[in-house]
Chain A
Amino acid sequence: MISIKDVEHVALLARLSLTGDEKQVYGKQLSDILENVRKLQDLNTEGVPPTAHVLDLQNVFREDRAGEHMPVDQVLGNAPDRQGNFFKVPKII
């Protein structure tokens, strides 16, 4: 069971500010999700090797060759604000 304290911790890490009610709702939802995932623990995984990836792929490489860059106006197209060719954001120290 996810405690309110856990919810507050995760919210802080995700930079979310939640109301008291929301903490209750998300706490319940997160608990349900974890409980669902926990069911995997009931499976017998004897003899199943640990997996790091769901697809049967490995060593997908690209060569070290340069390609096109994005035009800078497009790069900054979604920026909330810009100064010259920089993204401009509130200072976070």
Chain B
Amino acid sequence: MAQYEAVIGLEVHVELKTDTKIFCHSSTEFGADPNQHVCPVCLGLPGVLPVVNKKVVEYAIKAGLALNCRIAPFSKFDRKNYYYPDLPKNYQISQYDLPIAEHGCLEINVHGAGKRVGITRLHMEEDAGKLVHQGTISSTPFSLVDYNRTGVPLIEIVSEPDMRSADEAVAYLEKLKAIIQYTGVSDCKMQEGSLRCDANISVRPAGQAELGTKTEIKNMNSFKALHKAVNYEIARQIKLLESGGKVVQETRTWDEARGETLSMRSKEEAHDYRYFPDPDLPPLVIDRAWVEAIKAGLPELPDARRQRLVTAYGLPEYDAMVLTSSRELADYYEECVQIYNNPKLVSNWVMGELARMMNAGGQDIQEVRISPAQLARLLQLLDEGTISGRIARTVLEEMYNTGKDAGKVIEEQGLVQISDTGLIEKVVDEVIAANPKSVEDYRAGKEKAIAFLVGQVMKSTRGKANPGLVNELLKGKLNK
């Protein structure tokens, strides 16, 4: 069987976090009742005049700079014409041949291998409305239309076809999301649709320079969906070619429930968008001083911050990468380390126990009730030997659920570590007496048997015995 290489490029739409829409004063707030946040401009009523929201241009430039793009000195808006009920004007205002930013790149790291992915362009456009269907989409004869989202500002970021696997595609999207979030121009919530991703995928025999026929995959609403959809589509295309078939250039939708990509109604001649400059909108002449001012206001970005965490705190590269995956997480970590200067211990707990609970509850760091100061205090108590590691986990869990201080939880539940030698010795004696078999095993050279005995002591002290002391006392007695 011939070896195939996949070629992947992503088109990512990001909603900008402005208060108002791109060309009118209607609110962009998410979750309002249908058709509340509309005005004559975003409804496309006759005779209205769109005017660009300055903040949208500023945010687009900011995102462009963060993605190492060249900011265009001259840029304009164009009309992209197509007829669909989510678009009240029958055209979308977008940018065609003179986008605000071009020629950028970002760095990804997959399984330890670094790679640079090119960014072709970044342009501004307006979002479309939302179609709602009652019952199943195939059985209902109607579409219900909500225009609240119409005119919400978007930037579309188009990558070069530089990715070769689903892992690389996910790494690119994760990095892009982190960079955009760091700049603060969007909150990039995939579940709310403020970050949306389409993938262009083709395959070719390894070593062939010419690209294969591509398909465009839509409707991937999570990183997991992107990964699965890309892998599915690569396998589908290879199988097609292997069996002597041909890939048809088309748009396909990812069906999460079925776990496959399905051909969409070929948007008949949809690519004939007949773009032309929007006569309602005068062009943008971007002043270099403005760009420089925006550049000066850029925060520290993920790559720089990762590097700094490695050098300033001596963290492993991996820890630094995970901690800087979102600005809020990195802020949380650093705030905690400021209070309790034990960078690796803090990192272990943030990436370990805390992340585990956040994943289980589907929460972001912003939603966590434990403040960095509270976590710092817990880790201090652990370090001082007031509580054991195992107890600390229990305490953290309670703190996570209630937001209480570590000290309070420890006091309420009587969880202070027992470091009283006499008390532990008593329990150790009991355990030795009750488990002659394990004692025998240990003395016969089965070193591992001691772990069981330690476990028994911890069990009867409800985890409160100082593990170091338990080990020491047990060994002392057993080795006699």
Residues of A within 8 A of B (CB): 9, 12-15, 52-55, 57-70, 72, 75-76, 83-93
Contacts and interface: CB of A to CB of B under 8 A. Distances in A.
B52 A62 contact: yes
Contact of A92 (B84, B274, B284): B84
Nearest to B52: A61
B177 to A, nearest CB: 23
B25 A67 contact: yes
B468 interface: no
A68 B57 CA distance: 23
B110 interface: no
B145 A92 contact: no
Interface of B: 18-20, 24-27, 33-40, 43, 51-57, 76, 81-85, 98, 132-133, 137, 140-147, 265, 268-269, 272, 274, 277, 279, 281-285
A66 B282 CA distance: 22
Contact of A58 (B26, B33, B40, B285): B285
Main secondary structure of the interface of A (DSSP, over half): loop
Contacts of B83: 13-15
B51 A62 contact: yes
A62 B145 contact: no
A62 to B, nearest CB: 4
A13 B91 CA distance: 12
B473 to A, nearest CB: 68
A53 B269 contact: no
B74 to A, nearest CB: 8
B291 to A, nearest CB: 13
Contacts of A72: 33, 35-36
Given A85-B33, A86-B35, A86-B145, A66 B25 contact: yes
B20 to A, nearest CB: 5
A61 B51 contact: yes
B132 A86 contact: yes
B25 A93 contact: no
Contact of A64 (B55, B133, B143, B281): B55
> Which residue, of B146, B282, B283, has the highest number of chain A Cβ atoms within 10 A?
B282
B284 A64 contact: no
A32 B403 CA distance: 75
B25 A65 contact: yes
A12 B269 CA distance: 9
A85 B269 CA distance: 33
Contact of A70 (B38, B143, B272): B38
Nearest to A67: B25
6 contacts: A13-B274, A14-B83, A53-B283, A62-B53, A67-B20, A86-B144
A89 B141 CA distance: 9
B145 A59 contact: no
Contact of A13 (B24, B269, B282): B269
Nearest to B27: A66
Nearest to B287: A59
Contacts of A15: 83
A69 to B, nearest CB: 6
Nearest to A91: B143
B37 A88 contact: no
Contact of B38 (A62, A63, A75, A93): A75
A13 B37 CA distance: 30
Contacts of B282: 53, 55, 57-60
Given A91-B133, A91-B142, A68 B39 contact: yes
A10 to B, nearest CB: 9
Given A67-B25, A68-B39, A86-B146, A54 B279 contact: yes
A85 B35 CA distance: 7
A86 B34 contact: yes
Contact of B43 (A54, A55, A75, A83): A75
List of 7 A-B pairs having minimum Cβ-Cβ separation, nearest first:
A67-B25, A86-B144, A57-B282, A61-B54, A64-B55, A87-B145, A85-B34
A61 B142 contact: no
Contacts of B40: 70
A90 B141 CA distance: 6
Given A59-B284, A62-B25, A90-B141, A53 B277 contact: yes
Given A14-B83, A67-B25, A75 B143 contact: no
Contacts of A70: 38-40, 43
Contact of A69 (B38, B57, B98): B38
A89 B265 contact: no
B18 A64 contact: yes
A91 to B, nearest CB: 5
Given A58-B283, A84-B34, 17 more contacts: A53-B76, A57-B282, A61-B54, A63-B53, A64-B55, A65-B19, A66-B20, A66-B26, A66-B27, A67-B24, A69-B27, A72-B33, A86-B132, A88-B145, A89-B145, A92-B84, A92-B85
A64 B285 CA distance: 19
A66 B36 CA distance: 13
